[in-house]
């Protein structure tokens, strides 16, 4: 094993589209640096946004945001939202937008899963704002559900890898969690 420096090796990550109301209008940006802070109720999720981005001020002002899950078929639109800034471009015009319980967290009908969050806290890092949101509601299209559960094989999340700077596709399931390890028990 060779040291390669403090390289973040947690990729691939799902690519998301984060929605916010900025200057009174919906805006979306691509965000792969999403964190799951707990597994409980309420559920807290984090997003790390560079301070230069247009979206940050809107999240601070309205204290809401959304995390929308584009499938592979939205790769082009998602990438566009990661290239263009809302300072100059109306990216929301690409999508059919809807709102749920929070009237300033825009969500996307073309994304089969959408989550709306209320801002809980902001961590002020030197280059990034880390927005921590409390998950308020999740919206799912029937087409990605199996037995009332989100089915990733139907959702086909768009995976992002920083090392290759490529989008990747989800492969097949290879085993059951909390189960595969049982074969080593008692050895
Ligand atoms: C695949 C992908 C993932 C990205 N992930 C992040 C991220 O996690 N955090 C971030 O601050 N910017 C990320 N970006 C860059 C922003 O989406 C991009 O700078 C965007 O133009 C900012 O939009 P805004 O100025 O309208 O807020 C990503 C871009 C791409 C293409």
Whole-number Å distance, alpha carbon 175 to ligand 1 midpoint, is: 33
Residues 49, 54, 56, 62, CA torsion sign: negative
Identify which of 53, 81, 122, 126 to mutate to test ligand 1's pocket (most ligand atoms within 8 A of the CB).
53
Q: If residue 125 lies in a helix (H) or strand (E), which one and from where to where?
A: none
Give the nearest ligand 1 atom to 86 CA: 26
C-alpha 90/C-alpha 26 separation (Å) is 8
C-alpha 21/C-alpha 162 separation (Å) is 28
C-alpha 131/C-alpha 119 separation (Å) is 7
> Is the CB of 75 inside a 6 Å radius of any atom of ligand 1?
no
Whole-number Å distance, alpha carbon 55 to ligand 1 midpoint, is: 10
Edge to edge, what strands does the sheet with 159-161 contain? 13-14, 159-161, 166-168
Q: Residue 50 above 90 pLDDT?
A: yes
> Is the CB of 84 inside a 6 Å radius of any atom of ligand 1?
yes
144-182: pLDDT as tens digits: 999 999 999 999 999 999 999 999 999 999 999 999 999
Query: Residue 182 in 3-state DSSP?
Result: helix
Kindly report the number of other CB atoms within 10 A of residue 156's CB atom. Answer: 18
> Is the CB of 46 inside a 6 Å radius of any atom of ligand 1?
no
80-139: pLDDT as tens digits: 999 999 999 999 999 999 999 999 999 999 999 999 999 999 999 999 999 999 999 999
Provide the 8-state DSSP code for 119: E
């Amino acid at each position: 094993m060779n040291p390669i420096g403090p390289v973040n090796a947690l990729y691939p990550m799902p690519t998301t589209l984060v929605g916010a109301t900025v200057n009174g209008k919906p805006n979306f940006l691509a965000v792969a640096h999403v964190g799951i802070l707990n597994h409980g109720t309420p559920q807290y999720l984090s997003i790390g946004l560079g301070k230069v981005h247009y979206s940050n001020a809107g999240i601070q002002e309205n204290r809401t945001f959304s995390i929308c899950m584009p499938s592979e078929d939205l790769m082009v639109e998602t990438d566009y939202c990661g290239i263009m800034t809302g300072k100059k471009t109306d990216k929301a015009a690409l999508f059919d937008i809807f709102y749920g319980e929070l009237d300033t967290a825009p969500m996307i009908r073309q994304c089969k899963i959408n989550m709306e969050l209320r801002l809980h806290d902001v961590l002020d890092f030197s280059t990034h704002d880390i927005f921590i949101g409390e998950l308020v509601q999740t919206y799912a299209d029937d087409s990605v559900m199996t037995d009332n559960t989100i089915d990733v094989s139907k959702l086909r999340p768009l995976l992002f890898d920083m090392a290759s700077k490529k989008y990747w596709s989800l492969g097949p399931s290879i085993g059951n969690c909390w189960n595969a390890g049982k074969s080593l028990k008692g050895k």
